[in-house]
Amino acid sequence: MKTISSNLAKSKRGARYDKFTHQFYEVLKAVGGPRVVKFVSANLNGPDIRTVERNARCAKTQKPGFDVDTLKLAGEIYRQAKATHNIEGPVLVEAAEDETVLLKLIHWDQRTDELVGFCGEKGDEHVCQPGFAVVVGNDEDAYQRIEAAFKDCVVGHMARVIMLNPLHPKLPAVAVFLMSTCNRFTHAEVRDQWQQLDDLYNEHLYSAVGPLVSHASDGDSRRRKLMYMYALSEEGVRYTLDHENFTMSCALKERPDGRVFPADLMDQDFIHNGKKLINPLDHASRVLSLGGNAAHMHHLALVVQRFDLVADHHLRREDIQREDRQNWASAQRLMFPKVRECLQKIQNGEVGIPENVVGTMAYLELCWYYVEIFCSFTATLAERVKFASYVVNFLRIWRHWIYLQPGLTLQHNYITRECFQDVLLSCHFAVLLIRAVRDFTPDEDVNLCLTGSDCCEDFFSDNGSFVVNKHNYSFYDMLNNTGVMNRLNQIRVDENAPEIPKKHKKQENIWHKGNPVPQQKPNMRDFPTDEEMVAAWEAGLVMSRSKCRELGMAPDRNGEDDHDPGQDSDDDGDDGGGGDDGDDGGGDDGDNGGGDDDWFSKPHKVTGATEQRLLKEMCSDMCEEVSQPTISDVLGQADPEVLSSLRQQFDSAEGDDRPSTVSSTVTIAGLGSMHKSTLVSQFNGMPDVSKDRLQRVRARQFTKKKYDSNSMEDVTNTVGLFSDCAVYVKDRGLPAKFLLGRVQRIQNTGARGKVEYCKPINLNSTEQYSKVEVHVAMYRQETEHSYKYAFKDVRVFPIHSIIMGISLTYSPESNKYTLDDEDVAKLLEFIHEQDKPARPVARKTTQQMAADGRVVTVVQSGRSGRTRKVVHYI
């Protein structure tokens, strides 16, 4: 306002603006474009658009591959930020990486005279090459180079980015590596890029900010392979937690100044893991089973329906009718403690008929503990170590229980293998990072909430907003936008810089809205000692075993496992004592006895062996190179002679004799000259080259779910979710009977997989639902018309087996249900009709009159279908 008032009496040429005003309009141009700058400047007496564009020219354009200039610029940004915010000493840095889909387009870069967007030459063994570009040149062969490039090179439809993410809230993340890719690269190329990044980082950035200690990803199988190879390695000096149940570690490496810091810490993004943990709740073919208790999204739909006030649970319609499976805010709301409080009231029968939601409560609690490791406002560092141990060991025990349970499979009743492995990596990483900050940078907070690859998602989103707010852009656009983003980072570290817009609301962290936020937050520099960390990990192990025992996921020892969980000691006899640890049943140590209960008492033993075996398998056949259709599949494989000629042309164009001035035109034989950019656009428009519009397509397995007031517990001639029904059962050689149950799921098997039904089905018109199956939790008959809810006995029946909806009266005192007398009469009448013996009924089909007075009747038997003739005389 001071600048505006001082320029009111001045002409446009005589106006002067301070540093903040210039930065404000520079940011405005970057995020809003020239039209927004002109509008704001005209109404607030701001600088001319040409002045703003002149200031913005200092943004350096990113180059493909590792750009040394960008690394040096990042060093300047971090030095300025540390000086501005009085940050002394080293800050631990994480390298985050990810890929995103791009428009499949090639651009000619006038600054370098290169075709940008290719990822390498075609061939059966094509591997994407960082920094690959084709130099056009000014000679008469320029057209042939362009034509040969489109014919013999692969156009990348994705971009791979590596960002440096300092684990400090005042230091921005900077993209230092960009490459166009068709997703044809293996873990070997990733490992080489990691090594190259380490060398360049130590040369240009180590002294400016601190050591590069970890790599972060969001579930890519090639990087997961490398992460497990590093985390389970035993080479060199290992940095770990001294507990036999803690199975991962990292290396210790000497840096350029002679100091030793951790290296090769492996992190999987906790936000991505949190969404992957929530996704199985509404999966069409996956039913999570925790001790026989199902965990499913239908239980959360009950919460929304039975509790009228949103303040009771914070859930929205989009949280249970999930169409965007990457909605992080929605996933967080499902984990809020108030949701579990509502589920507990449903379990207790405080709101409506009680329903078994124990499995859903336990699973959401597990998810909550996992996110609390990184986002908690109340947990101390020692408590976060305990939470990490609880999550790791609960998943291990649950996995073994599923594997040993008859009728259950890991494919259909457990989370995905990738999610299991990523969560284990993430939890071990969090514990090692707490220990590393304590030992090497004790003057800094442990900022677990800043870890992961979410900075890459912000980077991709910001790129979309720079292209007229459309999230479709080419690799060339990304290169240009990255230079602008680095310029914004330079502005952001200024203490008087304008505020930069935040991310989309769906991706924001809302953990504080559903969890208590104390006035005095825990001290993130109150580091636990090694002994306290080991004790916290042990406490998490004991807590996980206690929870699994409560859910029924403990080995059967003829009642010996009913001891007090609080007395459970996990010394396992390692100290030489002869006391029973309460888990092995006979006092034997799992190592000595080798009993069948090791999976519960020492889950790391079995899981650890599996991880070691997996490490060896991963080196051979796991995470094979991704083979996806590329442009080479459309245009055909290039001839070897053409490739050789093309390579010579590229090499000759990339020599030292490259002209200093770049011509914007190219000469085409018989046609004359044409602008290079125009020619490239013509090649981009070839019909054989498909254009990817940045649509992340997911094969939808669900119809659009609509939970409404009529979709649950409606028993009027229909069967719906959580409604009681009677099922017709007829075993061979036995009389017909009916069973009672409560509907848990309704599924239809269609041409594109299974479809989840959430609305009631009319039992009077089941013909259209011939392939529908109903999952029913059975009632166990106690007396003649009294039943008890056996929620773990879930059976699947075809829809035509459902007789009718029924009315049951619940008695909280006896915890039993009584069948309505009218329904009893209807069901008995139905069974009586079914038990009647079927009699053959003759059916007259035709009659004929003969000339001599005979009447010939053709009769068909109702049972066998045979025909016979009956003759009558008149």
Question: Are the C-beta atoms of 738 and 717 separated by less than 8 Å?
Answer: no
CB atoms under 10 Å from CB of 141, counted, come to 16
What's the confidence (pLDDT) of residue 697?
A: 28
pLDDT digits (tens, 9 = 90+) for 335-383: 999 999 999 999 999 998 899 999 999 999 999 999 999 999 999 999 9
The bridge status of strand 153-155 relative to strand 114-116 is unpaired
Question: Are the C-beta atoms of 478 and 127 separated by less than 8 Å?
Answer: no
Examine the pLDDT at 427 and tell me if it is beyond 60: yes
- Residue 623 tokens read as 């995470």
Question: Are the C-beta atoms of 314 and 514 separated by less than 8 Å?
Answer: yes
CA–CA gap between residue 720 and residue 723 (Å, rounded): 5
Which 3-state string (H, E, C) describes 166-180? ECCCCCCCEEEEEEE
Host H or E run for residue 845: strand 843-849
pLDDT digits (tens, 9 = 90+) for 450-480: 999 999 998 888 887 654 445 578 898 888 8
Phi/psi at 761 (5° precision)? -110, 130
Alpha helices by DSSP H, 552-618: 590-593, 598-601, 603-618
Residue among 417, 773, 784, 769 at smallest CA distance from 610? 417
Which of 2-16, 40-54, 595-609 has the largest mean confidence? 40-54
CA–CA gap between residue 441 and residue 575 (Å, rounded): 34
Which 3-state string (H, E, C) describes 251-312? EEEECCCCCEEEECEEEECHHHHHHHHHHHHHCCCCCEEECCEEECHHHHHHHHHHCCCHHH
The burial class, CB within 10 Å (0-12 / 13-18 / 19+), for 50 is: exposed
Region 840-865 average pLDDT: 60
Residue among 662, 503, 535, 544 at smallest CA distance from 113? 662
Which of 475-479, 511-515, 606-610, 804-808 comes out lowest in average pLDDT? 606-610
Report pTM. Answer: 0.80
**In this predicted model, which residue has the larger pLDDT, 303 or 468?**
303
pLDDT digits (tens, 9 = 90+) for 666-712: 777 666 677 777 767 766 765 343 333 222 323 333 344 555 544 44
SS3 content of the chain, % helix, strand, coil (to 5): 40, 20, 40
Question: Are the C-beta atoms of 250 and 266 separated by less than 8 Å?
Answer: yes
**In this predicted model, which residue has the larger pLDDT, 247 or 562?**
247
Question: Are the C-beta atoms of 427 and 373 separated by less than 8 Å?
Answer: yes
